[in-house]
Amino acid sequence: MSPVLRVLVTGSDGQLGRALLEKVPDGVEAIATRRAALNLADPEACLRAVALYRPDWVLNAGAYTAVDRAESEPELARAVNASAPAAFAEALESSGGRLLQVSTDFVFDGNQGHPYAPDQPLAPLGVYGATKAEGERLAIERLGPERTCVLRTSWVYGPVGANFCLTMLRLHRQRGETGQPLGVVADQVGCPTATSGLAAACWAAITHNVTGLHHWSDAGAASWYDFAVAIGELGASAGLLQRPADVVPIATSDYPTPARRPAYSLLDCRATRTALDLPPRHWRQALIKVLARMPAPAA
């Protein structure tokens, strides 16, 4: 009988955390920690959790992800996104475990016109991206690349939580009923990533003992405008909307936000797909599956 891998999963009540717990592979014992039980803003709590559970891996799916609010809460964002992975790495260094740190496309500035490779230099534009980049660096410096897996991803959404897909479904319902158009940014390009596929990639990295820098997203490319149009179209087909709103493309300058966002943040995932032995799935096909899991609105 194969030994059981003990994996401490942080942020288990978040959208990625819930998807992870739905997909725990055979031979893995997932130790789920909700935000209330493990405060990632407290490095001492992170150290104690590793000492208590003695995991083979920490899968750090918890994060401070409020991109705009991070500009006014840099200390809290840094505590969660940088100090927590550093603390996990410190604890795991002595316990012998490994760390899977989920990171983001926001560590890049978006100034190149082709997908970012995992080993490219980082140049975050705002506090959120900077704190995630710092978390990557601190974890690798302490634990080493041979015991740290950094898995960067982009535009994460799923059937639960707070994300762009659920927001757009709500706005499609509201605007579709009133006939008001829905303006969505069309000059930022990336790739939506469903939590189900991201969870599968996380578990594959752990079960395959994959370490180092890696990228994971669904396949293809889209602007936020493209994604919003698809949510309306496919949401109507899935019976989630009676009438999608008319989506109007707007420029980033027409929708100012506290945090700057990369204009182009496609991730080159080819090497990671090979390492994890996972085939690509186009983001529209992933979206269809996510929408199929959502209950139809009450009449």
Q: Where are the alpha helices (DSSP H) in the chain?
A: 15-22, 43-53, 74-78, 84-95, 127-143, 164-178, 195-207, 224-237, 270-276, 283-292
Would you call 2 exposed, middle or buried from its count of C-beta atoms within 10 A (0-12, 13-18, 19+)? exposed
Closest CA to 14 of 44, 49, 59: 59
Q: Residue 18, SS3? A: helix
Q: How many CB atoms neighbour CB 53 within 10 A?
A: 17
Active site residues: 128
Q: Which amino acid is at 263?
A: A
